[in-house]
């Protein structure tokens, strides 16, 4: 892929990812967390499912393939987004964004353990920096909020989904995978809403506009671009560009919600950014044999 096009797509998808934290936090004034995110992804999935049917995109024929889409939907949509929206009840959108987007560090850890991918020393140094940053962000304050744990769990689920998409995603049309994983994930969230919370949604012009924004831009456009980038590159290196998303998350929280970035969160965030940068570092010497290193095992 052309580097300029790749860069523009990275900025687009990370900006949508990051700013959705602030918009989602505003939406919690009008809806319970799991219901809001369940409506978001169920509607987005249904709309995209209709679109891919109209354009006659290639759908899976085997039952096993549909099961794989359901599993991806559970981790990528239900687990990730459910934890994010629940975390926003007790921590700021910036803190939630920083914790969620530590997932590139976890991709390296899980990729090594489960897929036997070999990473270089500098990438492991990045993981260590990132984990230190997570520790500071989650534990530097005396009162550990449940939201910080949920924010980190969203990163764990996203890392699992990233590796699953890389392992299984090549057999699916990008738009088909995006549509149905969102729809299945949204349905799981709706069920969770009725069993795990007291669901409510206040209908007015503001809540409807927020839901439309979350459905169209922050879901359909964002996920389609993200899955496309994952399928075109190595999951660890592609995910490393997500360091831009928490930046957009913090900035949007500051601009939209007037959130102040706490000192310990800033220090932890800087460590995480350094860690993700090192994970994505590629020296000239490794340009020629980097792919062989990543694919080993």
Compute the C-alpha angle 60/163/47, nearest 5°. Answer: 45
Give the pLDDT confidence score for residue 139 in this predicted structure. Answer: 61
- Does pLDDT of 289 surpass 50? no
For residue 201, the SS3 value is: strand
For residue 31, the SS3 value is: strand
Give the tens place of pLDDT for each residue, 175-207.
Answer: 898 899 999 999 999 999 999 899 999 999 999
What's the CA gap between 294 and 275, in Å, rounded?
Answer: 18
- Does pLDDT of 293 surpass 50? no
Give the tens place of pLDDT for each residue, 121-136.
Answer: 887 888 888 778 777 7
Average pLDDT, the chain: 82
Give the list of residues 6+ apart from residue 147 with CB closer than 8 angstroms, or none. 86, 87, 88, 89, 90, 91, 95, 96
Give the range of the structural domain holding residue 60, as residue numbers without chain letter.
3-295
Give the pLDDT confidence score for residue 236 in this predicted structure. Answer: 57
Encode 145-163: b = buried (16+ Cβ within 10 Å), e = exposed: eebbbbbbbbbbbbbbbbb
Domain total of the chain: 1
- Give the global pTM: 0.78
Radius of gyration for the chain, computed over Cα atoms and rounded to the nearest angstrom: 18
Give the pLDDT confidence score for residue 216 in this predicted structure. Answer: 92
* Confidence bin at 282 (pLDDT 50/70/90): low
What's the CA gap between 203 and 64, in Å, rounded?
Answer: 39
Could you count the other beta carbons within 10 Å of the beta carbon of residue 120? 17
């Amino acid at each position: 892929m052309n580097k300029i096009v790749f860069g523009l797509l990275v900025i687009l998808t990370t900006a949508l990812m990051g700013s959705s934290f602030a918009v989602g936090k505003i939406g919690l004034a009008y809806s319970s967390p799991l219901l809001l995110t369940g409506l978001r992804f169920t509607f987005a999935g249904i709309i995209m499912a209709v679109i891919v049917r109209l354009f006659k995109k290639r759908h899976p024929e085997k039952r096993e393939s549909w099961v794989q889409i359901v599993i991806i939907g559970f981790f990528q949509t239900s687990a990730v987004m459910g934890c994010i929206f629940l975390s926003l009840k007790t921590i700021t959108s910036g803190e939630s964004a920083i914790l969620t987007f530590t997932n590139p560090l976890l991709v390296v850890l899980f990729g090594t353990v489960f897929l036997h991918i070999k990473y270089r020393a500098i990438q492991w140094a990045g993981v260590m920096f990132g984990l230190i940053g997570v520790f500071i962000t989650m534990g530097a304050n005396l009162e550990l909020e449940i939201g910080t744990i949920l924010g980190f769990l969203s990163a764990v689920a996203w890392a699992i989904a990233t590796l699953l998409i890389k392992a299984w995603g090549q057999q699916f049309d990008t738009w088909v995978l995006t549509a149905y994983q969102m729809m299945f994930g949204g349905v799981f969230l709706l069920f969770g809403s009725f069993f795990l919370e007291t669901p409510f949604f206040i209908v007015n012009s503001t809540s409807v506009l927020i839901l439309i924004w979350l459905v169209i831009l922050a879901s359909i456009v964002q996920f389609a671009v993200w899955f496309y980038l994952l399928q075109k590159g190595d999951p660890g290196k592609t995910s490393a560009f997500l360091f831009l998303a928490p930046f957009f998350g913090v900035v949007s929280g500051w601009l939209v919600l007037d959130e102040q970035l706490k000192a310990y969160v800033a220090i932890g965030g800087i460590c995480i950014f350094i860690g993700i940068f090192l994970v994505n570092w590629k020296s000239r010497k490794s340009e020629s044999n980097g792919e062989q290193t990543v694919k080993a095992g």
